[in-house]
Each structure stands twice: as C-alpha cells, then as structure tokens.
Structure 1
C-alpha cells in the first residue's frame, strides 16, 4: 500500500528527473571535458570567473554502494585537472567547496 506522499513523490519524480538529465552539466560552459581517474568519471571545466582556473567535480555513481573501492578525492582531482587540461596544478592553489568541487589555478607550458 502506498501513502499519498509516496504517490505524490512518484508523480513529481519523473518530470524532475527528466529536467535534471536534459540540463547541461555546467550551465554556460562550452568547454567541459569528462576524464576517467581510477575508474571514476570527473567533469572538468574552465572557471569563467578567473583566468587559468579550472573546476573538477566527481560523478558519485548514483551513490552505488557496490562501486569502486574507496580512494582519496584530492589526488584524483589533481590528476583529473591535469588530464583534462594538459597543464599542471600550481601548488597551493587547489581548494575544495562543501559540494566537493575542486578549484585550482593551472600553469600551462606553451
């Protein structure tokens, strides 16, 4: 037996999921790259507010409890940023938000 709240959440769930899936990964970002680090997918995009600054965000695999083994995020974020950009992270500029987005300034040899 379903409660009225369960029926209501099921009724709203499908349209909201469709809206979330149809939205771009990063609104206003034309240059977004997906890279794999230790079997995890990272989305890397340029930070429009700062020059030579990039943002990396790890896909949580829908919180799958049977996913890949635990691995530290910070080394993965550095590797994802370097793979996606071809540049090096400037030491001391990497920082993380509460939402687990990693921001860093990059140095490109060119």
Structure 2
C-alpha cells in the first residue's frame, strides 16, 4: 500500500509533506507534487503534514490519481526540501475542479 497526492495539491503545492518524508518519494511538477508508489513506505507521516489535505492512502476510488502519481513520478524531478507554496496557494486550497482548470504535465 502507498499514499497518493490528489487534486487539492494543484495550484497549492505546499511542501510540508516533502520535508518529513523519510524516503524522499515526492516529485515536483509545475503546479503539484506526486508520490512515487514504488518508493513510498506507507508510513503516513506526510498525510498529517499536508495543509491542503491532498494526500490519502491508496484506494480503488483513487485509481486515476494513483496512475497519475505513478506516471509523473517517472517524469518529474525528485523534491526533498521544503519550498514556499505557490503565491496564491491559500486562495486555491479547497477549490473544486482544479484538475480540469489547472493541471499541467510541465516541470
């Protein structure tokens, strides 16, 4: 079992989760983070640290997000240090429909 970053990370990209990850399994795209499922040890430390509550344990209901995380973890660079969130992160936290509005595969 692993954890997965979901839609609410988009346009927020808080990196509190990165700072506490003992195996550095996060990868960074232009406007969101993903977790590499092959490296996640399912410790769950990141879940409590995410201000956007955008990290969940894998489940059948999250299959699309699990696939997106796995795909982009192979493309995007690893991130292991905390950074400042997007400048308008708080305004986008909790916004519905962010994937269709803002998701990009860019680095």
Q: Say which structure is richer in strand.
A: 1
Q: TM-score normalized by structure 2? A: 0.28
Q: Give the greater-gyration-radius structure (CA).
A: 1
Q: Which structure is higher in RCO with an 8 Å CA cutoff and minimum separation 6? A: 2
